[in-house]
Structure 1
Amino acid sequence: MKKYFKITIFPLFLFVGYFGFTSYPKLELISGFSAKSVASGHFIANRSQEIIEKNDNNFDVIGWATNEINESEKFATATVFGLKKRKAIYRTGLGATLIDDNFDITKPYEIPKRIKSNKKLPFPYGDAESKDTVFGNVDYAKLNSAVANAFDAKGYNDKKTRSVLVIYKDKIIAEKYADGFTKNSILLGWSMTKSVTGTLFGILQKQGRFNIYRPAPIAEWENDNRKNITTNDLLHMNSGLEWDEYYDRICDATKMLFQTEDMTRSQLIKPAIFKPNTHWNYSSGTTNLLSGILRKQFKTHQEYLDFWYSALIDKIGMHSMFIETDMAGNYVGSSYAWATTRDWSKLGLLYLHKGNWNGKQLFDPSWAKYVSTPTNTSHGRYGAQFWLNTSGHFPDAPRDLYYCSGFQGQIVAIIPSMDLVIVRMGLTEEFDFNELLSEIVGSVKK
């Protein structure tokens, strides 16, 4: 009996030991992701806990979490096997924020002031529907087939597309939503937020308030080898600063998003391991550092909060969009912008028109070229807070295509040569964007 007990219990100890060594440190990140996702999805997008768990949180080990929503106090909590409880609170105007035990939930906070126009102009410059426009050079049968093919057939769940929107010459020529979603559904763009953050520097530069080619205004770097890093280097993810970003493990990015109070400092404290402009390295920490730099351009926190909306978001009618903050009140410029599919497309249209929005120039036309020009050592894949197709990453799509890209397959694709903006929102990276883009482009004759 004792021998049998030893034989059976020893593997159990090995399993528990292995789990503790490999997975226990991840539990706080798992519960953090889950609590934040549930709070945001429920209080921002008005989705039920069941739907969020079944769809948004149903991947990898995130499904281990057990979630609870407190409707009256507007927060969500999550644990993993009863361990590592995390809490995310919802605040009007700021979204859901993952907090720690030291966060004072009674402390007053500022919220951004919004200016929402009620223009009766047709989309994209107002809220009215566009008049039906039929273009003779568009093969609508082929276009609609391409869009329909982006969605799961009945009984399947592998493409996980939530919406596709195609705009040609400022007119919607195709629009489709998955069951349960409409043109009014607010969707998380994840890293497409980076393109929003980067755009604000173009606006500041147009206003004569900032020079991206000067050393980044960071006091902590003034007396070491980071003093020559420019904001231009940061925008291009080419600063040479240490950073690792792998979402299947504990890394700088996951610790920042799910454990850090002030996300603008996560990259700031990292050492330089390469000279600037010699080593491209994708970093969400860099974009949050840029958010921190933006904050320092204003005398008050309120001015910083307002600027993102008054200078860009509300200026181009992205009234459904808002960006969530961290515990320190910084916009999480790397990851947490929400908007309807139509409002996401407006960012693409702004770039398609080189910064001009219905007659108003928000940034210099040269800024569109700046963000879509390959940065050194990125092998033609990255510009300034935008991804590029210069090297043919999508081999059957035009090479001048550049795009905002987000976790789980979010994309706003801008194709200047075709006068097209294409948006796809979904829940999986395993999606054939080359096929979708090439088929849509193929349906429009120049």
Structure 2
Amino acid sequence: MRIVGKIIKWFAALVVLAVAALAGWLYFAPPALIRVGSGYAAKIVCSNVFVAGRDAGQVLADDVQAPGHPLLRLMSVSVDKEAGTVRAGLFGVFGRGLAVAHEGAGCTTVPDGDLAAARLGAVPAAPAANKDALWPEGDKVEPSQAPGINAILDDAALAGPGVRAVVVVQNGRIVGERYAEGFSAETPLLGWSMTKTVTAAIIGTLVGDGRMAVDKTGLRDAWKGDGRAAISLADLMAMSSGLEFNEDYGDVTDVTRMLYLEPDMAGFAGGKPLAGEVGKVFSYSSGTTVLLSRLWQDAVADPAKALAWPRERLFGPLGMSSAILEVDARGTFAGSSYMYATAHDWARFGQFLLQDGVWNGTRILPEGYVRWMREKAPAATHGEYGRGQLWLQGPEGGTPVGQNPDTGFDLPADTFWMQGHDGQTVAIAPSANLVVVRLGLTPSKLHYKPQAMLAALIGAMR
């Protein structure tokens, strides 16, 4: 019996040592997947607490844990509102995710833990809209009393699972809107890849100033000694740079590594080699849009002026007072993915594109620039993608690329789309003088089709 007791004690000691070793490994050298998960949890909670004013526990449960990777269900977060930081980790310990809030500039993931390098100065706010004036001049809404529109907005199947906001704009006025419980017209919501189209518009303001040109090549010094020197601004805009980039969000890929493990996102994306012929191969890439952000910021030259540029030249004139573009840990706008704005402000931006880059009679984007954005990207052989970081309506009323292929929706041929992860869309139908914003938390596995709601609305308005 003594021998058995000794064996049990030795076995227990070995188990304790193994657990301690495992814990030490996870703490000091956590695998990339755990670091991505903790970085993601910290970032999403940070933005929703400090930008959207939501409860941290609710965001963790609803936005991070419920729809995501099973690993995310084991994440815990701690919020320090005084310091403006959020820390996250597996069981609250492993992975050491960190995000920091900036005054007027949302939150930043800090994968290297260097808070001093990641902090920004305050970014000036855009002027607030006049709440007493009708949208879009202000935020007052006199919705349509048309029963057909109301019935469509109240149809859960058409609005889709996880919907948080729907805004319908016809002839330049909001004619209907709906918000899920806990959300309102004042809640800033994440657009994910709809941010890409905003980045294209920001570039348009610099093209109009003569500071950028879409045909310019030799964009980065590090590219000038190889084939990447041939990449033009237009190639990046049309997702046809030829640069290697894996956009799969399943595990640790280029896109998740860039967003959650790299303090310098543009440096990471810009360091990728060519994987295809420049201008000839379509490859959807958030990395190329972050590169576009770095390029336009460099074109402004002064870092402080670059941080203020979106609000001074785009958001301010449009009255998008809630719009916040977030930056990486080295001050580059994460223009591929991270813009928060209220549904009213996303609708303003959609209306701005419908009006060809003109607002209140003032031309903000160059003549013909929005039309160029809507031209089919030459290399986009699979589905329809525009030259300017947006999606075009597919043939026969089918869905744009990035969603499950389908046909049979009765939609105008000139419809184009801003689209983002988890069901974010702004549909713009110029011939119907219609903009429809739909925001929510709707994973692609649910196969929701925003085209059905758009088609129903167009039918009700005829």
Q: TM-score, with normalisation over the residues of structure 1?
A: 0.89
> SS state of the match for residue 280, structure 1?
coil
Distance in 1 (alpha carbons) for counterparts of 2:157 and 2:434: 20
2:413 is matched with which residue: 394, 399, 423? 399
Matched letter for residue 379 of structure 2: T
Distance 1:401 1:107 in 2: 40
Name the CA distance, whole Å, in 2 between partners of 1:106 and 1:279.
37
Task: Name the CA shift for 1:41/1:76 in 2 (closer, same or farther; >3 Å).
Answer: same
Q: 2: distance between equivalents of 1:267 and 1:106?
A: 20
Residue 76 of structure 1: how far off its partner (Å): 1.1
After TM superposition, give the deviation of residue 368 of structure 1 in Å.
1.6
Give secondary structure in 2 for the equivalent of 1:116.
coil
- Distance in structure 2 (CA, Å) of the matches to 1:146 and 1:405: 21
**1:86 maps onto 2:97 in alignment:** yes
Measure the CA separation in 2 of the matches of 1:267 and 1:130: 42
Within the candidate set 17, 22, 35, 1:28 is matched to: 35
Task: Identify which of 410, 425, 429 aligns with 2:439.
Answer: 425
Q: What is the alpha-carbon distance in structure 1 between the residues aligned to residue 241 and residue 327 of structure 2?
A: 24
Alignment of 1:274-289 (within 5 A): 274-289=276-291
**C-alpha distance after superposition, 1:367-415 (max 9, x if no partner):** 1211111112323421121111133226313222111111110011111
Deviation at 1:79, TM superposition (A): 1.0
Q: Which residue of structure 2 aligns with residue 126 of structure 1? A: 137
Cα separation, partners in 2 of 1:232 and 1:85, compared to 1, 3 Å: same
CA contact (8 A) 1:247 1:254 kept: yes
For 2:79, the equivalent position in structure 1 comes to 69
* Letter paired with 2:440: G
Where does the alignment leave 5 or more consecutive residues of structure 2 unmatched? 400-405
Q: Describe the shift of the 1:352–1:150 C-alpha distance in structure 2 as closer, same or farther (beyond 3 A).
A: farther
Match runs of 1:1-400 below 5 Å: 24-58=31-65, 59-60=68-69, 61-81=71-91, 82-105=93-116, 109-116=120-127, 119=130, 122-131=133-142, 140-150=146-156, 159-378=161-380, 379-383=382-386, 384-391=388-395, 392-393=398-399, 395=407, 396=409, 397-400=411-414
Greater shift, 174-183 or 120-129, is seen at: 120-129
Secondary structure of residue in 2 paired with 1:200: helix
| Structure 2 Cα separation of the partners of residues 118 and 30 of structure 1 | 37
Judge conservation of contact 2:212–2:296 (CA < 8 Å) in 1: no
Partner of 2:403: none
Paired-residue identity, % = 29
Task: Find the aligned partners of 1:380 and 1:282 in 2 and give their Cα distance.
Answer: 12
> In 2, Cα distance between the equivalents of 1:132 and 1:114?
29
* Conservation of the 8 A alpha-carbon contact between 1:390 and 1:401: no
Cα separation, 2, equivalents of 1:48 and 1:119? 27
Deviation at 1:150, TM superposition (A): 3.9
Q: Give the partner amino acid of 2:199.
A: T
Q: CA RMSD in A?
A: 2.8
The residue type equivalent to 1:385 in the other structure is Q
Q: How many residues align?
A: 426
Change (3 A) 1:108 1:145: closer
Q: Distance in 2 between matches of 1:258 and 1:223?
A: 30
Q: Which amino acid aligns with 2:290?
A: N
- Alignment partners' CA distance in 2, 1:107 and 1:284: 21
Residue among 431, 449, 452 paired with 1:435: 452
Structure 2 equivalent of residue 137 of structure 1: none
Residues 246-292 of structure 1, C-alpha deviations (whole Å, 9 max, x = no match): 11111000000001111112221111122222110010110000010
TM-score calculated relative to the size of structure 2? 0.86
Q: Is the 8 A contact 1:239 1:279 kept in 2?
A: yes
Comparing 194-203 and 93-102, the one that deviates more = 93-102
Whole-angstrom CA distance in 2 between matches of 1:97 and 1:360: 34
Question: In 1, Cα distance between the equivalents of 2:78 and 2:139?
Answer: 39
